[in-house]
């Protein structure tokens, strides 16, 4: 299950960055492409985000993480590039 969480953490980070790229750059250069990408990218990122949070809470019990570690891992889902840091710092040594 930890390997699945690592993969979801990486995919969630990538989807977050792609969504930002769509919102910040494509919106101003090609509005039609922006509208055609917004729903699929948003839905994909939303599902990965929910999966990340649910798996993190579930793995807290399995991996015996303390509350501080869980808060850091959950907080990383809100910041760009942070899930990559979490995967490297917290999940590789497990």
Residue 30 confidence (pLDDT): 83
Q: Do the beta carbons of residue 51 and residue 82 sit within 8 Å?
A: no
Residue 60 tokens, joined? 């807290």
- What's the average model confidence in pLDDT over 65-77? 92
Computed over every residue of the chain, the mean pLDDT equals: 88
Residue 93 confidence (pLDDT): 57
Domain boundaries, the chain: 2-19+45-91
Reported confidence tier of residue 25, pLDDT bands at 50, 70, 90 = confident
CA 68 to each of CA 5, 71, 73, 86: distance values in angstroms, whole numbers, following the listed order = 18, 5, 9, 13
């Amino acid at each position: 299950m930890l390997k699945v969480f690592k993969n979801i953490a990486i995919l969630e980070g990538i989807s977050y960055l792609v969504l930002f790229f769509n919102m910040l750059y494509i919106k101003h250069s090609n509005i039609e492409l922006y509208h055609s990408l917004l729903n699929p990218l948003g839905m994909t990122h939303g599902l990965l985000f929910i999966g990340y949070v649910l798996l993190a809470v579930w793995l807290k019990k399995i991996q015996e993480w303390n509350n501080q570690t869980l808060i850091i891992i959950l907080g990383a889902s809100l910041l760009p590039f942070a899930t990559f840091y979490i995967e490297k710092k917290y999940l590789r040594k497990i």
